[in-house]
Amino acid sequence: MAKQPAVVSLDDRKPLRELMAESAARWEATGHYQGLRELKLKNDDPLRYELFHARLLSTVIAAREVAKQISSSVMTREEGELSFALYTPEGDSVVFSTGIMVHIGVMGNFIKWMIANGYEEDPGIAEGDHFANNDVLISAVHVPDVYFATPIVHEGEIIGWASGVTHVLEVGSITPGGGMTSLAVERQLEGIHVCAEKVAVNDRLRRDYELRIRRNTRLASFWLLDDRARITGNVFIRNEVKKIIAEFGLDYYKAAIRELIEEGRRHHLGRVRERLIPGRYRNPCFHSSLLKERPGVLPQANRDTLIHYPLELTVRPSGEIVLDLEGASGWGFHNFNAPPGSIYGGLSIALAQTMDYDGRANSGCVLNVVLKLPRGSIVNPDYDFVSTGFSWGSVMAIFNGFLKCLSRGFHGRGYLEEVLTGGNITTAVEWGGKDQYGRQTGGVNVEVTASASGARGVTDGIDAAWSLWNPEGDQGNAEMWELLYPHLYLGRRVVTDSAGAGRFRGGACFESLWMIHKSEFVFTYQIPGVARVATNYGIFGGYGGGPAYINLAKNTDIAQRISARRDIPHGEGDPGRPEIARLVKGEVLRGEDAQYISEPLKEGALYEKLYLPGGGGYGDPLERAVDAVERDVNLHFVSPKVARRLYGVEGLETGGEWKVDAGRTAKLRTRLRKSRLARAVPVKDWWRSERERIVAGGIKGEAAAMYADCLSRSPAWARTYREFWALPAEFDFSAPPPPPGRRNRASSMVPKR
């Protein structure tokens, strides 16, 4: 591409749509953001430039802290599920706060969408206006994450935007109400969509909007206080930006915010060259949607689906990264559909955590990343009424894989401390029905925001902390959750043997055991979990965690046991003999079936959610330091059984402490290594017999359906598949047809970036 010199003029007052088009043209022509070949302000007076950046950054961080104090939701106040950012007039992020950073780029695209759709003329953009959106096909991640964008107007000119997001507890969706339940298989079941609407004027929420929220949600006060929290954060940013302009001057402000973005772009490219290796990285990921014959599921969704995300990452010698999902499953009548906006969000947060965390994390960092998302697939659905309630499921699977791809690069360069094998790909539980105060309730307990990280290349993953979408998330106090929903915590503890084994193990996840309290009418629904598949495998010989499940006990004698002061369950304990089955009498359900209830739960029922899987491991478990295994056993993070079987460590409990037996450990490890060699076969032999199995129709059920879908969708992926197994071009899988309504009319609602 021939690069032409571009003259940057930002002084003219132009419609935002023109500014946006000019910015795109300059990028096309020069490969520099806004055509900025030089970082003039930085070079002329670096101290002033740094001061300016620090002022902006501290503003958005402070806005998040201020907004937290307005919200009354556990999620926003305690878990920190909110984030704020400052944008250029064209919708490019300049600085952003911590928190659910995944939304930063996505909110920018929401601003761009309004500009592209003529919002300046109608409904008009003025000081004091606030625009709201949670519509994924405009630009969002899923319904509960509500965005507010606020123009910043200086002497009649729009000089930027403040935008904030919080995850609201309850969104008026189908029961239970948090908008992420697997019952929401089409858009109309997801709850209230606010579609790029002007919801506040003169910094006050409109009365008609407020009425709509009150009339259509079960916990309206939480939603509406979160709205006020976002307005507060945005107004805080707006006011501070005006002070900064008064101090630095308008011209400096306009030029510097753009220079910061171009610097972000260069910084990102520098990081790629510093830490990665050019080449091709692959990490296929999978998810399961289990809806077949489940209570409450609509006919078109009555099927189980194995979902395929064939992630391929190419790092070009130029430093450009191409993320390709060619061959991905088609979209479906389940809520894992993840339109481009959500993938873009996953990309931003994955990069912000691994490469672009300092320097200038902003829109510039993703300018040299190309997304290839096949139209009609789960990552780019061509159906306007697709459900996206748990787009997160897809985003987590893909971007934990993405982290592992990057980690292979970090490892190759020797930056082992940056390696981060994928973390938790888990889910939460929604609660609905009558609460302990006799009112209608609903929503989601998202304590999973602190679950488990993957292993590092030099140390273990973090236990019961970290999530992809919010790296510094918190579980929220149990007491606060108890105030909100009709459940009491009998226990909240680390799940033994949940971490992916490895020389460095993944983080161990936690579990919560709830007792239904003061209600006879409680709906729970687990947001679809990773069932049937062990996803998120480790790296370099480390394992991933196993599938997720819950335990449920109904009609129990827990009340009598409590009044008689007898032992009650506090956690699962030995999964072979769970406390919930051992310590109470009642009807016990375990595994994936337990998450689908056909009747409301009542006082005394016990619900135990294990936030599996834990993080992925790093390296061969037989090489783990024995003292680390000893510590894990004594903390009950690892059972003696797993210590022996996966880590090859023998020990004995004496005086309440488990001690390693070094001699027997060394022998066991040698034996385990030998037994590997004895049971394994050369890949060539395995390939032959697997090929015979495929040709003979040995791949059945949902796996066959997945292959049939992906082979028909993508000739390129089909070629790779048939080539690997040396199958003829006409080879195909016999599987039931895709769900009705596929390949519906295409949407043109999302504007190009």
Partner 1 sequence: METYPTKEVLKDLIEGRLDWPRIKQIMSSPKDSDRFMKYLALAQERVKWTEQILLPLGEHLYIVAKNGERVVKCDCGQEFGDWRGNWKLRALIYSRDTREKLEGIYPGARCPDPQWCEVREFYCPGCGTQLEVESVPPGYPITFDFLPDLDAFHEQWLERPLPDRIEAQDRSGEVIRRWVGDLKREKRVGTKHNGKATGSRKSR
What is the CA 28 to chain-centroid distance, rounded? 31
Closer of 90 and 418 to partner 1 (Cβ): 418
Closer of 562 and 680 to partner 1 (Cβ): 680
- Listed in order, strand segments (DSSP E) in 68-167 are 82-87, 93-96, 130-133, 145-154, 157-167
CB of 411 to partner 1, least distance (A): 7
Q: Please tell me the distance from the alpha carbon of residue 309 to that of residue 579, in angstroms, as a whole number.
A: 37
Q: Which of 97, 245, 236 is nearest to 159 (CA)?
A: 245
Burial pattern 233-249, b for ≥16 Cβ within 10 A else e, equals: bbbbbbebbeebbeebe
CB of 163 to partner 1, least distance (A): 29
- Element holding 115 (H helix, E strand): helix 104-116
CB of 701 to partner 1, least distance (A): 5
Q: Confirm if 289 and 336 have CB atoms less than 8 A apart.
A: yes
Residue 60, both tokens: 């958005």
Closer of 128 and 319 to partner 1 (Cβ): 319
* 3-state SS track over 213-227: HHHHCCCHHHHHHHH
Q: What are the phi and psi torsion angles at 515 (to 5°)?
A: -115, 125
Place of tokens 């056909």: 598
Q: Confirm if 391 and 60 have CB atoms less than 8 A apart.
A: no
Q: Confirm if 456 and 353 have CB atoms less than 8 A apart.
A: no
Closer of 119 and 637 to partner 1 (Cβ): 637
Q: Please tell me the distance from the alpha carbon of residue 168 to that of residue 81, in angstroms, as a whole number.
A: 9
CB of 496 to partner 1, least distance (A): 11
- Listed in order, strand segments (DSSP E) in 211-303 are 279-290
Q: Please tell me the distance from the alpha carbon of residue 79 to that of residue 101, in angstroms, as a whole number.
A: 14
CB of 404 to partner 1, least distance (A): 9
Closer of 243 and 641 to partner 1 (Cβ): 641
Q: Confirm if 169 and 160 have CB atoms less than 8 A apart.
A: no
Q: Please tell me the distance from the alpha carbon of residue 223 to that of residue 219, in angstroms, as a whole number.
A: 7
CB of 314 to partner 1, least distance (A): 9
Residue 294, both tokens: 């489940």
CB of 628 to partner 1, least distance (A): 8
Closer of 101 and 646 to partner 1 (Cβ): 646
Closer of 532 and 664 to partner 1 (Cβ): 532
CB of 145 to partner 1, least distance (A): 29
Closer of 15 and 547 to partner 1 (Cβ): 547
CB of 598 to partner 1, least distance (A): 20
CB of 592 to partner 1, least distance (A): 9
3 state SS of 658: strand
Closer of 491 and 578 to partner 1 (Cβ): 578
Closer of 29 and 416 to partner 1 (Cβ): 416
Residues in contact with 733: Cβ distance below 8 Å, sequence separation at least 6, in sequence order: 699, 704, 705, 707, 708, 711
CB of 289 to partner 1, least distance (A): 11
Closer of 10 and 416 to partner 1 (Cβ): 416
Q: Which of 457, 451, 474 is nearest to 545 (CA)?
A: 451
Strand partners, 315: 279, 321
Closer of 438 and 701 to partner 1 (Cβ): 701
Q: DSSP letter at 62?
A: H
CB of 686 to partner 1, least distance (A): 5
What is the CA 503 to chain-centroid distance, rounded? 26
Closer of 191 and 327 to partner 1 (Cβ): 327
The angle, 0 to 180 degrees and rounded to 10, between the axes of the packed helices 46-68 and 220-248 is: 160
Q: Provide DSSP, 690-722.
A: HHHHHHTT---HHHHHHHHHHHHH-HHHHHHHH
CB of 563 to partner 1, least distance (A): 31
Q: Which amino acid is at 392?
A: W
